[in-house]
Structure 1
Amino acid sequence: MDLRGKRVLVMGLGLQGSGMASARYAAQQGAQVRVTDMGSPEVLAPSVRSLAGLPIEFILGEHREEDFLWAEIVIRNPGVPWTSPYIQLAQAHGAQIEMEIGLFFLACPGRIIGITGTRGKTTTTSLIYEILRASGAPTLIGGNVAGVETLSLLPHITPETLVVLELSSWQLEGLAPHKISPSVAVMTNIYPDHLNTYSGMEAYAEAKANIFRHQKAGDIAIFNYDNPWTRRFGAQAPAQSYYTSLERGGSFPRAEAESTQLTPFIFSDTPLAGRHNLENILLATTTARLLGIPDQIIAETVRRFHGVEHRLADVRKLNGVRYINDSTSTTPIAGQVALEAFKDPIVLIAGGNTKHLPLEQWPERIVERCREVILLSGSGTDELLPAIQRAAERAGRENPVRGVFNDYREAWDRAVQLAQPGDILLLSPGFTSFGMFLNEFDRGDKFVVYVQAL
């Protein structure tokens, strides 16, 4: 896409890379660039500093209609919905609406391996990347990866490069107008999420489905057979499709879904906790096999792969207590899965702000598996607190909640006081972090700093 001389407005600068990459790319392509973000100049100062020296105008702390009327192209941050009145205004006045990931796909000469899903996409993406890198193939990682400016990878990509991208539902919306999908698509699972943004599960799942909708017959798609949504999508894909099934113990082509002849699961001793991580490993190893990576390299990489920051990550063990950071647990199902990953007694730190998702079996699991629970205040906590009380009454057990805290340090102090040797002290909030923290990564970073200082 030729941006030279075009009036380009980047909506959403952010702190994690996407907005910065879009602004830098547009400026380097010779566009007239403005950036607008509701965040304050103080909060966004690191992002502004990273773009120093480029001809970019910043409008921070507000959105102005005049900027959207000025723009010929608006590049929206993944967190900005299509329904934004500013996006609608720009579109009504003839502006082209784009996203960073769409611009990247249009310009990328390498082979793209895209991974999406509600849970597990970051771990699966990271493991695929590590396996491909271990094979010696030229490999890069990007997409919905914190701190990576995906557009900035372009100068380093040749036709031989394998580009591994984690793709959120919002990013995948950016591919739909161009009718493009990655040549290798991986779907981990679909659970309720972002229902405060989408009209319902069908709309959310359809956004995810863009990862395979526009593939060609010679492309590859891999789906988790054990999840009803991804099993259904596997039947619809136009590419060569494969399923993985932890329940059945392996992987198989779509055409052999009824067969008992499976390609067995490459399983090495893994330091990753939880059944859900075995699903992630199966998806990653199957993808690597289909890309021609030898089993020995796959197995060795799985054995030494310790997971991803903020996702059931071991922080340290102190006085017999194991501290676990699962700050990217922003949905009830994520909170539930985290509890199911451990057998030792749990002191849980949870709570935050709601995305209006069903709590599922999370309150029951909290009552079953947690000896003590500390909650951070928020709209989600207001939903969870009575649900835990009802679950405790049904189970004939004491309510494990020991308090709701407005100050996260006070909450963490109390959790440490309650923990005993042999316990897991688990930060797995199950809700978003806004209000008390900048985002889930900031929440996890602060927890790690706190624990390391004990």
Structure 2
Amino acid sequence: MRYFILGLGLTGISTIKTLSKFGNTVYAYDENIKDYTNLEKELESFNYRLIKNIKKFDIQKIDIVVKSPGIPPTNELIKKFQKLNIEVISDLELAYRLFPNRNLVSITGTNGKTTTSMLLNNIINSSNKKSMVIGNIGIGMLWEIYNNNDVDYFVIESSSFQLENTITFRTKVAGLINISIDHLDWHGSYDNYVNSKSNIFKNQTKEDYLVINTDDNKIVEITKNVSSKILSTSTRKILKNGIFLENDNVIYKYGNNKMELLNINDLKIVGMHNIQNALIAIGMAIELGIDFEYIIKGCKTFKAVEHRIEFVREVKGVKYFNDSKGTNIDSTTKAINSFKEPIILIAGGYDKKIEFDELFENFPSNVKSLVLLGETKDKMKKSAVKYGIKNIYLAEDMKEAVYLSNRISESGDIILLSPANASWGMYKSYIERGKHFKKLVNEIR
């Protein structure tokens, strides 16, 4: 089989290494790389061919293209491959094809993927099984699966970008957390985005399990006719069967059986959205056959994920929280609603071609000030002003945003970085953005 690897970041490098070990013919190309020194050094012991001039390469001799998740469907080279009826897939699809006998578990949603994946991972590792989180969390999945034969379960945080280019991908247990408007610049429309997310259950059979959040109307709508067995979760209503809250207790009900698992105050994660994430993880653990004692233990010992409403520091009565993972309106709204204290919100970033009215039209009254930065700062300000929001400050960069927030804060305030935008343009990733924010906060005297 002749593979063409398009994009040579974490995903591309992981794919080259794995396919090379399987004895395939591998070609690799990345139009954005100018200096190949470090790449060639890392891959010097692997059998592949690096394409530096795509115009001199005959793309018709390729069987399958494996593209990096960030490359959009509008990419001209992708279009050429598709015109020639050459299959274009993601590493998610390739993982399913290369490792049919490994236990892959998939989780997706607009928000909460990382927290849910890490919590499920913690639950499994609290039992007598071994688990590893891979995928969109920033770990090249193929090379990790290849090198870890002792791992019982690979929990895959699955992005819409990865799911877009799946064809046969299927996991016996999958989780669908929520769906809200995001990445319209990449997918082209909300329907396309929803369809990509739906690929997580598209190929499931009646032998498989899908754990869903029934508080999300879009999820209820798109899962009406699925083939798999559904386990429902809710933080808002009592369910006939499923996992739900009753007097702040997490209840699992199946037929005539009703079990109280734990109280939500036993959890170390902040906000009702994180309770919903926990219910999804608990449901998936149940369907994986994990004993209830380990599920409870894994939930109680789990701590907040870095960059997701992460407490950084308290300075003179002001608490700083890093929610750099809040890259869309829904996640930022949930972060804000996690606090009752007065909030100074730092937001803004890369323009994903979305409007911000949804964020500001029902804006919580405890947000006392907005500090905006990045490409979208003027767009966000215009929307905020339209809904009568005052105390808006514009910053040139994160350093100024932290300085302004510190200057206008009072004891008892929360300073929350939750951008509602991607980091691109200012930072390579939300991780780099969050780390810079934390560094600046820790430098405050």
TM normalised by structure 1 equals 0.87
Q: Which secondary structure does the structure 1 equivalent of 2:66 belong to?
A: strand
Aligned to 2:371: 374
8 Å Cα contact 2:320/2:416 also seen in 1: yes
* Unaligned 5+ runs, structure 2: 244-252
* Deviation digits for residues 36-88 of structure 1 (CA, Å, limit 9, x no counterpart): 2243446x87666543443445567x965746456443211111223322112
Aligned to 2:280: 283
8 Å Cα contact 2:211/2:231 also seen in 1: yes
Is 1:208 aligned with 2:204? no
Is 1:11 aligned with 2:6? yes
8 Å Cα contact 2:348/2:419 also seen in 1: yes
* Deviation digits for residues 3-61 of structure 1 (CA, Å, limit 9, x no counterpart): 4xx3x3221123xx21221122233333443432243446x87666543443445567x
Aligned to 1:156: 148
**Alpha carbons of structure 1 residues 212 and 120: separation in structure 2 relative to 1, 3 Å:** same
**Alpha carbons of structure 1 residues 231 and 157: separation in structure 2 relative to 1, 3 Å:** farther
Q: Which secondary structure does the structure 2 equivalent of 1:235 belong to?
A: coil
Aligned to 1:390: 386
8 Å Cα contact 2:5/2:15 also seen in 1: yes
Q: Which secondary structure does the structure 2 equivalent of 1:197 belong to?
A: helix
* Unaligned 5+ runs, structure 1: 393-397
Is 1:294 aligned with 2:283? no
Aligned to 2:13: 20
Q: Which secondary structure does the structure 1 equivalent of 2:201 belong to?
A: helix
Is 1:192 aligned with 2:212? no
Q: Which secondary structure does the structure 1 equivalent of 2:308 belong to?
A: coil
Aligned to 1:243: 232
Aligned to 2:95: 104
8 Å Cα contact 2:395/2:401 also seen in 1: yes
Counterpart residue type for residue 420 of structure 1: E
Is 1:92 aligned with 2:83? yes
Alignment partners' CA distance in 2, 1:155 and 1:134: 22
Deviates most, 259-268 or 273-282: 259-268
Alignment partners' CA distance in 1, 2:277 and 2:417: 21
Matched ranges for 1:407-418 at <5 A: 407-418=397-408
Instruction: Return the match for 1:316 from 297, 304, 313.
Output: 313
Aligned to 1:36: 29
Alignment partners' CA distance in 2, 1:309 and 1:48: 32
8 Å Cα contact 2:321/2:417 also seen in 1: yes
**Alpha carbons of structure 1 residues 316 and 206: separation in structure 2 relative to 1, 3 Å:** same
Matched ranges for 1:66-145 at <5 A: 66=57, 68=59, 71-93=62-84, 95-108=86-99, 109-145=101-137
8 Å Cα contact 1:347/1:372 also seen in 2: yes
Aligned to 1:183: 172
8 Å Cα contact 1:367/1:399 also seen in 2: no
Counterpart residue type for residue 132 of structure 2: L
Alignment partners' CA distance in 1, 2:31 and 2:238: 48
Structure 1 residue 293: Cα displacement: 2.2
8 Å Cα contact 2:357/2:383 also seen in 1: no
Structure 1 residue 150: Cα displacement: 3.6
Aligned to 1:325: 322
* Deviation digits for residues 260-282 of structure 1 (CA, Å, limit 9, x no counterpart): 98765643422211111111111
**Alpha carbons of structure 1 residues 59 and 343: separation in structure 2 relative to 1, 3 Å:** farther
CA RMSD of aligned residues (A): 2.9
Aligned to 1:395: none
Matched ranges for 1:374-453 at <5 A: 374-378=371-375, 380-392=376-388, 399-402=390-393, 404-453=394-443
Counterpart residue type for residue 227 of structure 2: P
8 Å Cα contact 1:352/1:377 also seen in 2: yes
**Alpha carbons of structure 1 residues 116 and 448: separation in structure 2 relative to 1, 3 Å:** same
Alignment partners' CA distance in 2, 1:220 and 1:40: 42
Structure 1 residue 148: Cα displacement: 4.1
* Deviation digits for residues 415-450 of structure 1 (CA, Å, limit 9, x no counterpart): 222222221111111011211111222111211222
Alignment partners' CA distance in 2, 1:365 and 1:333: 12
Counterpart residue type for residue 29 of structure 2: T
8 Å Cα contact 1:372/1:401 also seen in 2: yes
Alignment partners' CA distance in 2, 1:230 and 1:312: 25
* Deviation digits for residues 79-112 of structure 1 (CA, Å, limit 9, x no counterpart): 1223322112123345332321111111222222
Structure 1 residue 234: Cα displacement: 3.2
Q: Which secondary structure does the structure 2 equivalent of 1:348 belong to?
A: strand
Q: Which secondary structure does the structure 1 equivalent of 2:387 belong to?
A: helix
* Deviation digits for residues 131-188 of structure 1 (CA, Å, limit 9, x no counterpart): 0110111322212111344433223236x82221111112122322xx2311101100
Counterpart residue type for residue 188 of structure 1: I
Percent same amino acid among aligned pairs? 27
Q: Which secondary structure does the structure 1 equivalent of 2:263 belong to?
A: coil
Alignment partners' CA distance in 1, 2:92 and 2:363: 38
Deviates most, 69-78 or 300-309: 69-78
Counterpart residue type for residue 399 of structure 2: R
8 Å Cα contact 2:174/2:284 also seen in 1: no
**Alpha carbons of structure 1 residues 277 and 215: separation in structure 2 relative to 1, 3 Å:** same
* Deviation digits for residues 307-338 of structure 1 (CA, Å, limit 9, x no counterpart): 21111111222322211111111111222111
8 Å Cα contact 1:313/1:325 also seen in 2: yes
Alignment partners' CA distance in 1, 2:21 and 2:40: 16
Alignment partners' CA distance in 1, 2:110 and 2:62: 33
8 Å Cα contact 1:331/1:357 also seen in 2: no
Instruction: Return the match for 2:213 from 214, 217, 224.
Output: 224
Counterpart residue type for residue 156 of structure 2: L
Q: Which secondary structure does the structure 2 equivalent of 1:196 belong to?
A: helix
Structure 1 residue 359: Cα displacement: 2.4
Alignment partners' CA distance in 2, 1:426 and 1:50: 39
Counterpart residue type for residue 128 of structure 1: L
Counterpart residue type for residue 170 of structure 2: S
8 Å Cα contact 1:65/1:86 also seen in 2: no
TM normalised by structure 2 equals 0.88
